[in-house]
Structure 1
């Protein structure tokens, strides 16, 4: 049995990590926000899941504190063996179609308000990679989805609507797409990074962009009507290289297969 600490254990991914680790018999410390014991005990192996996603624009200072402030304190003052910092493949967005590899040199407009998320995550990554004494690595998560109530994002929200509605209209472009990955596959990727003491940055993604039109086809095949009324638009963001994840023995499932399984469960 090993000792683990999950910082941000109350969040979407953090809570699932705690459950997965405890299910296999590990000792897990899940500190509440502001817990002073965080700096008074051995943390063992740390998953740093604290962060803001959907509300970062209205809470910019909390975003920086979660992504950088608390992290810097942990790296400098806490006792731990290894740390995995959860970041985001959103950092590739400014690179367009050319982005998606972990060794890409990132580019940001420092004056763009939305980039408080990207810049703070990038700084968190830098602290982990350059200031941890080789004890920290970075997991860049793609667009995570799940059908549970606490899941957020386009695809998660769509599945929650599908529980209640058989006909759904969205003001979204059929051509737009994202590199989606189910939450269970994210947990598998994070645990593999931990098991192999993965170094540097690892994309936790499927590596394939699925368009809204393809999603609609899955819904149609299972008895739903999904109407997309948005104007034509290019795919959103680059497709991630997942060779490093594959080298750890993890391959995320095809999003269409996962969606079909979820929708079949709704039909029962």
Structure 2
């Protein structure tokens, strides 16, 4: 039985990882924040899931602590065999359509307040790849979605509204697109990286951007009306290359088909 440590086990992805590992009858250690004695024991294979997403702009210092602070201590003091650090494909945003490959040289405006997220994730990646003695890998997650209450993000919030609203108005551009991936596919990818001791950086994404207009078409095909009132904008930014993910045997599901099946289920609509 392999020991796995999940840091950030109370979060959206961390809690699902714990459940998936327990379903495989693996030993799981899920330390509480600031837990005493964490570095006095073997941590086995670590999933580093701690982080802030939606509220990073109002909690910049907490963001840096979550993305880098504890990680620094784990790499310096922890006893572990492997570590997978959860990062984000948001790091490609400043590259525009040029970005999307794991070997891209990233660009950041260091004075932009929103870049506290990107820069802290990038520093976490650097520590893992350069200071772990080859024991750490990086998983850059795209726009993860689910329809459970603990899920966040544009599509997750839209699906939660759709359970009770048939006509939804959003101040969003029809052209804006995102690369969506379901939480179950993310868990499968993270487990594959750890199981195979895969090295380097991996995009955890579907590998295509779906525009808001395309989402509206799926919703309308099964009886919803999705009205987009935002101004016209440029199309989506970087499209993630998922070649490395494919080599692990992980092929995320088609999001349009997934949404169509979900919205067609009689128990989805709560009225």
Aligning the two structures, in what range does the TM-score lie when normalised by the shorter sequence? Answer: over 0.9
User: What is residue 18 of structure 1 aligned with on the other side?
Assistant: 18
- Alpha-carbon displacement from aligned partner over 1:231-260 (angstroms, at most 9, x marks no partner): 111233311000000000001111111111
| Match of residue 59 from structure 1 | 59
> Where in structure 1 do 4 or more consecutive aligned residues deviate above 3 Å?
none
SS at 1:139 equivalent: strand
Match for residue 135 of structure 1?
A: 135
Per-residue CA deviation, residues 202-221 of structure 1 (Å, 9 max, x unaligned), is 00000000011110111011
Q: Compute the displacement of 1:196 (Å).
A: 1.1
Partner of residue 28, structure 1: 28
* Alpha-carbon distance, 1:198 to partner: 0.9
Does the CA-based 8 Å contact 1:64-1:120 persist in structure 2?
yes
- In the other structure, the counterpart of 1:219 is 219
Residue 267 of structure 1 deviates from its aligned partner by 4.3
Which residue is equivalent to 1:3?
3
CA RMSD of aligned residues (A): 0.9
1:80 pairs with 2:55 = no
Task: Report the Cα distance in structure 1 between the residues aligned to 2:124 and 2:164, rounded to whole angstroms.
Answer: 39
- Partner SS, residue 230 of structure 1: coil
TM-score (norm 1): 0.98
**More off after superposition, 29-38 vs 141-150:** 29-38
Q: Is the 8 A contact 1:88 1:141 kept in 2?
A: yes
Distance 1:83 1:235 in 2: 35
SS at match of 2:37: helix
CA distance in 2: counterparts of 1:85 and 1:250, whole angstroms: 18
Partner residue, 1:163? 163
Gaps of 5+ in 2: none
More displaced 10-residue stretch of structure 1: 234-243 or 46-55: 234-243
Q: Is the 8 A contact 1:9 1:49 kept in 2?
A: yes
Q: Return 5+ residue gaps in structure 1 as ranges.
A: none
The question of whether the paired residues in 1 share the 8 Å contact of 2:93 and 2:237 is answered with yes
**Structure 1 contact 178–235 (Cα < 8 Å) conserved:** no
Residue number in structure 2 paired with 1:45 = 45
Aligned length: 268
TM-score, normalised on structure 2?
0.97
* 1:25-78 Cα deviation digits (max 9, x unpaired): 000001110111321110100000000000001111000011011000000001
Q: What does residue 197 of structure 2 align with?
A: 197
Report the counterpart of residue 153 of structure 1 in structure 2.
153
Q: Contact 2:47/2:83 (CA < 8 Å) preserved in 1?
A: yes
Partner residue, 1:249: 249
Residue 6 of structure 2 contacts residue 17 of structure 2 at CA under 8 Å; is this kept in 1? yes
